Amino acid sequence: MFNSGISSGPVSGDLADGLQANISALKNRFKNSADVIYREFTLGFASNPKAVLIYIDGMINQETTSGTILKPLMFDFDGRDSKRSAGPNGAGDMADVIANRALPNKRVQKAKSLKDVVDGILCGNTALLIDGSAVALVIETKGWESRNVDEPGTESIVRGPREGFTENIGVNSAMLRRKIKDENLRIESLELGRRTKTLVYLAYIDGVARREMVNEVKRRLNKIEIDGVLESGYIEQLIEDAPRSIFPTVGNTEKPDVVAAKLLEGRLAIFVDGTPFVLTVPHLFVEGFQSSEDYYSRPYYATTVRLVRYLAFVIAVLLPAGYVALQSYSQDLLPTPLLISMVASREGTPFPSYMEVLIMGVIFEIMREAGVRMPGAIGQAFSIVGALVLGEASARAGLVSNSMIVVVALTAISGFALTSLADVIGLLRLFFIACAAPLGLFGILMGGLTVLIHMFKLYSFGVPYLLPIAPGNLNDLKDVFIRAPLGSQVFPPRILGHRNLARTTSDRRPPGKD
């Protein structure tokens, strides 16, 4: 499956010599498909045989088809060599001549079976059938409307490249090539999905990514048996190590610079046609806390921001649960003035605190979901209502306490600070609330241990999920809680890459201080 080009399945009937026979065979295949166009014409040379171009409307570039196929074949090409080649195979060799001399397209393939022709047409290529020839030419004419390279919507940054991947896999792989101009950058292709026949690229740097890992990823990709791949999420769920875990063991990104950085660390990237989200494997837990910007800004600030992200994670996961535990069980741990103000705000509210947390959490999730899905035009009305409902009004009405609103708001903001971990955070938050409601701080402790034990058990393509925290490695920890200066990150992370590849050998001493 890993050869370039289109896969050749079982031969389901060869092409016939006669043009009409072939056309009716194809028409039989594409029953009731109004968008399949059959352009019949006469070649402008040799014995002026009849020919037909078959393509799908909208998937081809019209100018390419008319300018580089129809025009030469009807007018420009004088038919040189076509007589000489009229040997035993006759018109069969005419296809060769036309491919070699008449068509300036970037890829022209000969097809002998009906299936190859059908597959080619479905991919957006144009098939040329000539009367009296059992060989068709599949000419690359793909060209459909696609989005321009744009700033990615999910990963905003302040400093760094603003381009993001598009839905076009060719554009995407080119963006990666432009970042890594190394002959060892391998981009292998395969096709996944029985019906969607989605093009998938596997990218890695030979010699940096470990061979066993490349083989493992290939093995898992080849095992996929599915009718359709509409987004990289399908592949992610079919190759991940722990499909039942809430933790993602496959990463995704919309940014070429992030993919390039991951490849340089020895990871692999999986491009899927039709989506800007590129998968990266293996994916470790700490990657959720790393941002491409950490490496573009100077280390002190990057370290601070990274520590803030860890703090935000803890707040987003544990604050509501901790609030419930402190309010319902361990009031003695609070400073007296804080307790008094919390009592004051709790006074007169009807529900126990865990119900409050759940109610506000659900309201917030509804608002978030509505905010993502709703049309932009009603956004303003929505945000006013949302702010009123979630904010002042619910406290004024005595439904929830003021301090609860602060907790929910702080939790929500913290969750937004880590978009890539958002789904994990939401689930863990619920889990910990469920632990804290019946058991208080003890429940949180037990829940935390459960989650940790689960995380220790996880692997991503043979790499422990919590690497380099556990199993610990001092060298790799330079890029976990802190972001050490680039000069000191000489080696790519262990396991992922080869130990002896120095990433930088630059002298980090200040100039003039030898």
Q: Which residues bind another protein (CB under 8 A)?
A: 244, 327-329, 331-332, 336, 339-349, 352-354, 431, 433-435, 437-440
| Cβ closest to another protein, residue 14 vs residue 423 | 423
Nearest 5°: the CA angle 17, 19, 20 is: 120
| Cβ closest to another protein, residue 45 vs residue 364 | 364
Least distance to another protein, CB of residue 386, Å: 25
| Cβ closest to another protein, residue 162 vs residue 457 | 457
Least distance to another protein, CB of residue 223, Å: 16
| Cβ closest to another protein, residue 268 vs residue 325 | 325
Angle of helix 299-328 versus helix 402-416 axis, rounded to 10: 150
381: amino acid identity, one letter = A
Least distance to another protein, CB of residue 231, Å: 24
| Cβ closest to another protein, residue 311 vs residue 446 | 446
Residue with tokens 């370039």: 4
| Cβ closest to another protein, residue 310 vs residue 431 | 431
Least distance to another protein, CB of residue 401, Å: 9
| Cβ closest to another protein, residue 111 vs residue 408 | 408
* Closest to 255 (Cα-Cα) out of 241, 276, 269, 227: 276
Q: How far is CA 39 from CA 52, 279, 318, in A?
A: 5, 40, 65
Q: How far apart are the first and last CA of the chain?
A: 56
Q: How far is CA 465 from CA 140, 231, 261, 450, in A?
A: 43, 24, 19, 15
Extended beta strands in 43-160, E state = 50-56, 108-111, 126-130, 136-139
Least distance to another protein, CB of residue 348, Å: 7
| DSSP labels, 337-372 | HHHHHHHHHHTT--S-HHHHHHHHHHHHHHHHHHHH
| Cβ closest to another protein, residue 47 vs residue 341 | 341
| Cβ closest to another protein, residue 59 vs residue 334 | 334
Least distance to another protein, CB of residue 434, Å: 4
d(CA 431, CA 411): 15
| Cβ closest to another protein, residue 13 vs residue 398 | 398
Least distance to another protein, CB of residue 388, Å: 19
* Cis upstream peptide for 471 (omega within 30°): yes
- Looking at residue 399, the DSSP 8-state letter turns out to be S
- Judged by DSSP in three states, 123 sits in coil
Phi-psi region of 429 (alpha: psi -120 to 50; beta: other; left: phi over 0): alpha
* Closest to 208 (Cα-Cα) out of 424, 449, 426, 495: 495
Least distance to another protein, CB of residue 174, Å: 42
d(CA 215, CA 77): 48
d(CA 231, CA 272): 7
